[in-house]
Amino acid sequence: MDDKRTEIRRIIRDTKSLPTLPGVIAKLGSMAENNAISVHEMARVVSSDQVLSAKVLRLVNSAFYGFSGRVSTVSNALILLGVNVVKSLAISSSIFEIMEKNVVGLWEHSMGVAVTANVMAKKLKLPEPEETSTAALLHDIGKVIIKIKLQEDFDHLTARIGEKNLMMIEAERELLETDHAEIGEWLARTWLLPEKLIEPIACHHNVEKSVVHQSKTAVVHVADVLIKASGFGFSGDDLVPMIQPIAWNKLGLTEALLESIIEEVEDKLVEVKNFSLEIQSGDEPKT
């Protein structure tokens, strides 16, 4: 019998063909940033699936990016956000559709971290805040795979977390010989996402491990801690980890900066909650 890691890697290889992922995603999967694919060609592929493009536009216009309702076409989204972000959003909207039904708490957690990361990246004047929000939106994507593909293991994890008062990631390492950060990394590689999205997903629990995109990773890490501390959403356990000193220093954070970030995030979380409720109520976006 396969060991656990091999089993999970096999599941991820097969995830490309998850029945819930529309065919468009498979096509997008092969469109890496540096393939000479024009914005026009990519817009055509996304737009060929009306429901998907409506969902992508809804995410683009949500509180995560701060465009609030101004992006009306997939081409515009591609020009404003770039191929990688739109590709990731197409993937996110499909994956989160599964999450909405199964794990609302994790979906809200992910959206909360995305908004917080966006506020932080802008406040700290970091480059590519949209890429950072997108990485934040996907940071716990490995947990979705555990939840939907390893249902039995997920139940064991939940029981273990309750019994021993562990963080989810600790329970995963004990039971799965890997964790959701590594599973998320495997998944992101399968989808050919760029390194600047992969690193924050892979290293958000260990910022030190991130070498090339450490600022983005640090932002996602701090945003994750802040959202857990705020009690918004549910990521799988109730423990709030410490902000890693390497992340604090890398971003040049101060108590005052952190407070002003938290203040700004608090207002936006109301919007995120409404967005989540709207999605759960089953309103299909207008196409």
Cβ at position 224, least distance to Fe ion in Å? 4
Can you tell me the distance from the alpha carbon of 221 to that of 248, in angstroms, rounded to the nearest whole number? 10
Quote the radius of gyration of the chain (alpha carbons, Å).
18
Inter-CA distances, 3 with 41, 143, 169, 177, 270, Å: 42, 19, 19, 9, 43
User: Nearer to Fe ion by C-beta: 51 or 239?
Assistant: 239
Give the interface with Fe ion as residue ranges (CB under 5 A): 140, 224, 235
Residue 112 amino acid letter:
G
User: Nearer to Fe ion by C-beta: 75 or 102?
Assistant: 102
Cβ at position 270, least distance to Fe ion in Å? 20
User: Nearer to Fe ion by C-beta: 90 or 137?
Assistant: 137
Inter-axis angle of helices 141-149 and 74-102, nearest 10: 40
> Do 74 and 43 touch, CB atoms closer than 8 A?
yes
User: Nearer to Fe ion by C-beta: 89 or 225?
Assistant: 225
- Residue that the structure tokens 């656990």 belong to: 4
Cβ at position 125, least distance to Fe ion in Å? 24
Cβ at position 112, least distance to Fe ion in Å? 9
Cβ at position 17, least distance to Fe ion in Å? 26
> Do 127 and 71 touch, CB atoms closer than 8 A?
no
User: Nearer to Fe ion by C-beta: 12 or 57?
Assistant: 12
Can you tell me the distance from the alpha carbon of 225 to that of 227, in angstroms, rounded to the nearest whole number? 6
